[in-house]
Homo-oligomer: A and B are copies of this chain.
Amino acid sequence: MRRVRALILDLDGTLVDTVYAHVFAWQRALAEAAMPIDGWRIHRRMGMSGGLFTRAVARELGRPLAPEEAEAIQARHGELFGELLSERRPLPGAVELLAELREAGVAHGIATSGRRPEIDASLAALGVSADTVVVERGDVLRAKPEPDLFIACSERLDVLPDECYVIGDAVWDLLAARRARMLSVGLLSGGYGEDELTRAGAFRVYRDAEELRHSLDELGLLP
């Protein structure tokens, strides 16, 4: 086993507290389009690509969604999300974690199924510097649970996949990590339970970025 020396961090639910606003915005957008879907079913699909999410919605509805229908719902979701959450809030320890990694010289990047410019406010709230590696939906062909985002991030960090930990709050992060041949760590801050994350492949589960930050030595990441 190679030495693990880089962290690839998910954004929503891992570094910023946006999951519940996303769930609720999707729920409202879908209800407005006469496609009411249970909150928990949306929650369990947060963090996967928009395309897959739309397909999952179609499966719940029992009928395919036309591309223009899917696009309209996605646009309305964006509007509602902006109204609901005018300010992005970093999760506990997230800002400090990024600063600490930077200071300690631990390679790290952010890999998100989110898209620019929607994610810009989150990056700004976290104080992410311009030279930080950020891989977003527009940079790759396929989002999570495909491993593309994580692979692209490891390439930009110039480390091998098996030298990376993925840090995420959703089972899609953990599945994509496994497919990218990366170790993974789950955080409870997106609302998944500990067992669910462990069963999906997380090597460890921490409460949030704050607990992760205090556990970097356990992960063999500090010199």
Contacts and interface: CB of A to CB of B under 8 A. Distances in A.
A91 B193 contact: no
Q: Is the interface of A mostly helix, strand, loop or mixed?
A: helix
Nearest to A31: B89
Contacts of A27: 20
A21 interface: yes
Contacts of A28: 84
A195 interface: yes
A190 interface: yes
A189 interface: yes
Interface string A35-53: 0101110111000000000
A195 B91 CA distance: 25
A191 interface: yes
Contacts of A40: 13, 19-20, 188-191
A59 to B, nearest CB: 14
29 contacts: A17-B38, A19-B39, A19-B40, A20-B24, A20-B27, A20-B39, A20-B40, A20-B42, A20-B43, A21-B39, A24-B84, A31-B89, A38-B92, A38-B189, A39-B191, A40-B188, A40-B189, A40-B190, A40-B191, A43-B191, A44-B191, A191-B191, A192-B193, A193-B193, A194-B196, A195-B195, A195-B196, A195-B199, A196-B196
